[in-house]
Amino acid sequence: MTTTLELSAGPARVVLAPDVGGAIAAYEWHGKPVLRPTPRDALAAGDVQRFSCYPLIPFSNRIADATLHWQGASYPLPRYLANHPHAIHGNGWRRAWDVVEQAPTHAALELVHTAAGESAHEWPFAYNARQVFDLADDALAMTLAIENSGDAPFPFGLGWHPFFPRTAATVLSFTAVSVWQTDALVMPTMLERVSTAWDFALPRPIARTTLDHCFTGWQPPATLRWPERDLVATISADAACTYLVVYVPKDRDYLAIEPVTHMTDAFNRADAGEPDTGTRVLAPGATFSCTMRLSVSSDSEDAGGV
């Protein structure tokens, strides 16, 4: 059975699963799920793909053909999704994290990736990672940090993969400049201005919209509203997270709004000379961090304040 750690603050409750990718198993407010609830069988099995939220480190989304090309070298990476040719979401979500701080409204988790032996296949560069969770009555703040613990610089990116409940009445709003069109395997092909069909600058129901795309020039926040549940969730993040992956699968009862620091396959594209991929390079001994915040309110309260 998966070991969990619970935080609480007034009407808010968060359940963490350090051993399962340092993931979130539940986030509730006044008993209402803010994030997609983790099914009991997924919790028991440690099936991180069905959890509420997990960290994306040292990269988000996909690396083409599960091979990192960097500074004249090629590094094979694991394919975590069956029948899928690309590497996805780094390795932090597949590893157990250690609890290093714990209080009623606060927890810190750490992960040491040595890049030695078998772990080198997960990611060829050594790093230390830290997640910090701070829960308030009406918000959950999550900070994700990475330190280069090796002797060579490497490309990296950070982000989160929070899943939210989706109903027929769910309303979405966010502002972005452009969006990457994709091929059948969700790899970017062409950058275009956001079309009317995918323009959620003004809040509107998701309805039959289907998305699995990376938006650029995101201007936080993004907002989800569930009128029938009297609930609003606002997703914001640091200035480093200028990309937003929006995943709205067809005929499912969930969606994902993912603040991230780079585009899909950013590192390979940057190595090939493409500009503006969001790729960052971490020097030996250097640290980088960013924070995502989920704020919650009642729908009536939010509407009354506009």
* Per-residue pLDDT tens over the stretch 216-261: 999 999 999 999 999 999 999 999 999 999 999 999 999 999 999 9
**Structurally, how many domains does the chain consist of?**
1
What are the pLDDT digits (tens) for 56-93? 999 999 999 999 999 999 999 999 988 889 999 999 99
CA distance 277 to 299: 36
**CATH code of the domain covering residue 159:** 2.70.98.10
Give the range of the structural domain holding residue 276, as residue numbers without chain letter: 5-304
**pTM of this prediction?**
0.96
* Angle ∠(127,212,289) on CA atoms, nearest 5: 25
Cβ atoms of 303 and 232 closer than 8 Å: no
pLDDT for residue 302 = 66
Positive or negative torsion for Cα 76, 81, 85, 89: negative
User: Structure tokens of 291?
Assistant: 């924070």
Helix (H), strand (E), coil (C) string for 203-252: CEECCCCCEEEEEECCEEEEEEEEHHHCEEEEEEECCCCCEEEEEECCCC
Please enumerate in sequence order all residues whose Cβ is within 8 A of that of 269, keeping only pairs 6 or more positions apart, or say none. 263, 277, 279
Cβ atoms of 65 and 77 closer than 8 Å: no
Mean pLDDT, the chain, integer: 96
Average pLDDT over residues 93-102: 98
CA distance 223 to 138: 15
Residue 304 above 50 pLDDT? Answer: no
What are the pLDDT digits (tens) for 180-216? 999 999 999 999 999 999 999 999 999 889 999 999 9
pLDDT for residue 169 = 94
